[in-house]
Amino acid sequence: MKHSLVSCIVPMYNAENTILECLQSLVALDYQPLQVVLVDDGSTDHSLRIAQDFIDDFDGEGVEFSIITEDRNRGISYAKNRGLEKMRGEYFFFAAADDVQFFNRVSLPLAYMQKNPGVDVVFLDCELWHDSRDGHQSARRGFPEGMTNENAFLYQLKRSYFWSGFLFARSSAVNQFDESLSSAVDYDWYFKQFFDGKTMHFLDVPVMKYRLHDKNTSKNLSETSANVLKILKKYNFSKTYENLCQSCPSDEVHLSFAWLDQTVGRYPEALNKISNLQNQKGEAQFLKGVLFASLKQFNQAIDHFRSLCEKKNALPECLNNLAVCLLNSGGVVSDAVGLLERAGSINPDYLDAPKNLWILREETFNYSHLHLTTKPLRSILTHVDSYE
């Protein structure tokens, strides 16, 4: 039986320390034939030479390589788009030049798609690999509890769970990445596919190691937040909300769209959606406190976060937000400091609390510079300075 050609697109920019391991993992996959399209996006180090030497020395069968070179760096979206233009496979996926693919990176999702011909894209999971930490510590990223193929869109409204580096897709799902965005391009690509009517599923199985380091594009929180705002204003989510309310009204629908409203600054609309919830516990309670604070209704926010902090397992983001609201309402600085120190001790990777402590220790500080955490922390922080 003839196997379908699968294309792998590898965007590369100054990856001399990792590209060899990336390519070695690709030729070790348990599936062939494989087309590897390497896009060198204007590297100024030895990345291209290392990659070319590996390709020249490779004497295996079933894997064909091609290299696209650019004279200057144009960004990850441009590189992915160039690779998509060159691919010939019936299926495709992306491999970052600093990641390592597991042997079943292709065979696992391909088998799923062959059993589910109506699925256009499958997203998978990864192991987060803290390359800078002793022993190369890794941890499973995971998907949120309760997310299914049917409700994944609602979860995606809250934050991006589906990254292009983890996808496996049919060639019919080829779609250009927005080159005007400097980050959050995967978030945009997902919604573009959704509004194009594509069917997207996910498998809660890790198929690669995702390397965490200072150059990850999602590390710049302010830049990413600005791009997320552009994306959420780009599509007609209001019409989708109306349709979902008519077809399947539920707490999930109202809560997810309340998070969207909060992100784009429609705070009263978000509070109105929360009022429609039958169950106003957990995540909804946290969002309600954030909305009070965003509307500068600090007394209500204080009462709200204080009640959340009185629980046995108080969340560090609730302690932080209570401190911020107390300070903005003229509260005692020492009380806020105690809350922030407690938050930092619960989760050392959570940086809003220590950032706020640093601000308070300045001789002169502005309350507007304090960091309010607007979303519950992920169970595992993919980047310790980015919680969105």
* Residue 235 near residue 195, CB atoms below 8 Å: yes
Domain boundaries, the chain: 6-232, 238-280, 296-383
Separation of alpha carbons 184 and 262, rounded Å: 18
345-362 pLDDT, tens digit each? 999 889 999 999 999 988
Task: Name the residue among 347, 322, 346, 345 with its Cα closest to residue 335.
Answer: 322
**Pair of tokens at residue 138:** 């890794």
Can you list the residues of the chain whose pLDDT is less than 50?
A: 216-219, 381-388
**Pair of tokens at residue 365:** 């500080």
169-217 pLDDT, tens digit each? 999 999 999 999 988 999 999 999 999 999 999 999 999 999 886 554 4
Q: What is the pLDDT of residue 367?
A: 83
138-153 pLDDT, tens digit each? 788 889 989 999 999 9
Q: What is the pLDDT of residue 212?
A: 83
Task: Name the residue among 310, 309, 290 with its Cα closest to residue 300.
Answer: 290
- How far is the CA of 121 from the CAs of 126, 190, 289, in angstroms? 16, 10, 36
Specify the residue for token string 């629908």. 253
Cβ atoms < 10 Å from Cβ of 153 = 16
* Residue 63 near residue 32, CB atoms below 8 Å: yes
- pTM check: above 0.75: yes
Q: What is the pLDDT of residue 82?
A: 97
Q: What is the pLDDT of residue 178?
A: 96
199's CB contacts (< 8 A; 6+ apart) are: 118, 119, 120, 121
Residue spans of beta strands (DSSP E) within the chain: 6-12, 34-40, 63-69, 91-94, 100-101, 121-130, 138-140, 167-170, 200-212
The domain 6-232: what is its CATH number?
3.90.550.10
Q: What is the pLDDT of residue 132?
A: 56
Alpha carbon 216 to its chain centroid, in Å, reads 11
Task: Name the residue among 12, 160, 7 with its Cα closest to residue 75.
Answer: 12
